[in-house]
């Protein structure tokens, strides 16, 4: 393929603009303001507490009410049901049967949580 334009293209030089002269003192002041604003080097640094291993990797917010927890549990079980169903659809034989049983157990848990949620009286 033939390239029509010259390599590099012929362009006129950029004209010099005297109004854009940058004073080094003003540049340093601007850089210092930006660093102080974004990095705030004068602020006291907070120490990150050391990691303490525990079994409480995931915790439930103590302020969450029962209805919120039940809704979250119901949605999680519903998602697990769909995932198990999708995996079972790709399997054959006894493995598929086991996955369908697992899907049914998850679905029963979801139905139980739904019943509790239906019977739950806020307050």
Of 79, 112, 83, residue with least CA distance to 99: 83
Q: How confident is the model at residue 36, as a pLDDT?
A: 77
| Distance from C-alpha of 66 to C-alpha of 123, rounded to nearest angstrom | 10
Block means of pLDDT (10 residues each) for the chain, 123 residues, are: 65 66 82 80 63 68 85 92 93 91 93 89 72
Q: What are φ and ψ of residue 98, in 5° steps? A: -65, -40
Q: How confident is the model at residue 14, as a pLDDT?
A: 65
């Amino acid at each position: 393929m033939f390239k029509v334009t010259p390599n590099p293209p012929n362009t006129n030089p950029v004209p010099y603009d005297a109004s854009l002269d940058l004073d080094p003192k003003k540049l340093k002041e601007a850089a210092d303001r930006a660093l102080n604003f974004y990095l705030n080097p004068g602020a006291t640094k907070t120490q990150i507490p050391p990691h303490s291993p525990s079994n409480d990797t995931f915790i439930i917010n103590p302020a969450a009410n029962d209805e919120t927890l039940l809704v979250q549990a119901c949605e999680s079980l519903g998602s697990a049901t769909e995932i198990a169903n999708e995996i079972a659809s790709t399997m054959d034989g006894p493995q598929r049967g086991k996955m369908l049983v697992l899907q049914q157990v998850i679905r029963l848990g979801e139905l139980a949580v739904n019943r509790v949620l239906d019977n739950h009286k806020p307050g």
